[in-house]
Structure 1
Amino acid sequence: MSALEFGSESERLSRVDATSVVVASVLGSFAFGIVMSLTMGDVLFAAIPAMYGLGGVDPTTGTLLGWAIHVSHGTVLGLVFGGAFSVAVPLGDDTRRWAVAGLAYGAALWLVLATFVMPVWVGAVTASSPPVPDVRPWSLVGHLLYGVYLGALIPIYRRY
């Protein structure tokens, strides 16, 4: 018996569930990050690091920090989504249902976090004053893409 086979079936299943959510979260974060890099680079290399007091660095360092923080945020938010829709409102193995739930989750994240929370946070910790609400269409596109990737990839990863 290999090390991966220890534990009960439910313990192995929960490891697969958590892994599927983390993988889907990271891939969804990368998809969103590409959109952000191409359309809102200043958010990625300046605003996101500045939220944690890491602003004012050169663009290369800022971009690396921004990507690391962005993927970390996406992973934590993906774990919230995965937990909610695996336990509280189980969606089973239907990829379409997961994708629609992810799309709705991405829209909710954009509406609450990107449009209100992030600009308030950035304004509170930096000298800049982003508008509140900060309505950016490309941010909505990125959040929707993240949500669809997140939702669709969880059941796909679990199957394979």
Structure 2
Amino acid sequence: MSAESAPGSDGIGTGNWLFGGAIGGAVGSLLFGLVLWLVDPTIVTEAIPAIYGIEPTGTAGWTFHLAHGLVLGVVFGALISRGPILGTVTADVETGFLASMGNGLRFALAGMVYGLAIWAILPLIVVPAWAGIGGIEEPGFPVLAFESLLGHLLYGLLLGGLFSAVADTAPKARDAEAPFEEASDSPRSSRE
């Protein structure tokens, strides 16, 4: 990987993965919450607190939603800053399209994949199961709605983009090994 394409080498990234994930997750969940609010404000004000069996009062829905985003952002930071995943995201490849991408865009796209995974796991599987166990007949959350998918993708995009801007992953990226063969002119492949 060339030094000029390493994440954090542009002088922006000065924080760690925990801080980057928390900031990206909080801001991403705020954007996602605004999407939900524009579609149907009761999703945030009533459906989210109902998942926890709480009466919709004040800002409880927003508080839970932002807390979810922050925690999921920290999980993203923990996952993406670990060897095999970081090596995959920052690998030097011979594919023109991927090679021309900066690492900021790569992290943003990795965030979108993470947002898609969250959408596939949490609202499609966990929330209905949790509602069934808790005796909630209909959680009122639009699990299969286009707005939910769009919101999760926007969340992930913003999460990954902000993570790459805040977290300094350059030292770890230089040492990370891709789980596949990198481009023949890669500085990492020449170390071997």
- TM-score bracket relative to the smaller structure: 0.7 to 0.9
Structure 1 distance, partners of 2:103, 2:42, is 37
Structure 1 distance, partners of 2:160, 2:114, is 9
* Counterpart AA for 1:134: V
* Counterpart AA for 2:113: A
CA RMSD of aligned residues (A): 2.6
Per the alignment, in what secondary structure is the counterpart of residue 158 of structure 2? helix
User: Could you report, residue by residue, the CA deviation over 1:7-29 in whole angstroms, capped at 9, with x for unpaired residues?
Assistant: xxxxxx99633212111111101
Structure 2 distance, partners of 1:27, 1:37, is 15
Aligned-pair CA distance for 1:87: 1.3
Per the alignment, in what secondary structure is the counterpart of residue 134 of structure 1? coil
For normalisation by structure 1, the TM-score amounts to: 0.77
Partner residue in 1 for 2:8: none
Is the 2:21–2:75 Cα contact (8 Å) retained in structure 1?
no
User: Could you report, residue by residue, the CA deviation over 1:108-147 in whole angstroms, capped at 9, with x for unpaired residues?
Assistant: 111111122113323432543359x931110000000000
Partner residue in 1 for 2:3: none
Partner residue in 1 for 2:32: 32
Question: How is 1:2-41 mapped onto 2 (pairs within 5 angstroms)?
Answer: 16-41=16-41
> Percent of counterpart pairs with the same letter?
35
Partner residue in 2 for 1:154: 163
Name the structure with the higher helix share. 1
Partner residue in 2 for 1:103: 112
Per the alignment, in what secondary structure is the counterpart of residue 129 of structure 1? coil
Is the 2:51–2:131 Cα contact (8 Å) retained in structure 1?
yes
Is the 2:115–2:155 Cα contact (8 Å) retained in structure 1?
yes
Tell me if 1:77 matches 2:72.
yes
Structure 1 distance, partners of 2:14, 2:162, is 16
* Counterpart AA for 1:67: W
Partner residue in 2 for 1:87: 82
Partner residue in 2 for 1:46: 46
User: Could you report, residue by residue, the CA deviation over 1:71-90 in whole angstroms, capped at 9, with x for unpaired residues?
Assistant: 11111111111111101411
Structure 2 distance, partners of 1:14, 1:53, is 40
- Equivalenced residues, count: 142
Partner residue in 2 for 1:9: none
Aligned-pair CA distance for 1:36: 0.8
Per the alignment, in what secondary structure is the counterpart of residue 114 of structure 1? helix
User: How has the CA–CA distance of structure 1 residues 28 and 134 changed in structure 2, closer, same or farther, with 3 Å as cutoff?
Assistant: closer
User: How has the CA–CA distance of structure 1 residues 45 and 122 changed in structure 2, closer, same or farther, with 3 Å as cutoff?
Assistant: farther
Q: Unaligned regions of 5+ residues in structure 2, if any?
A: 1-12, 91-101, 169-192
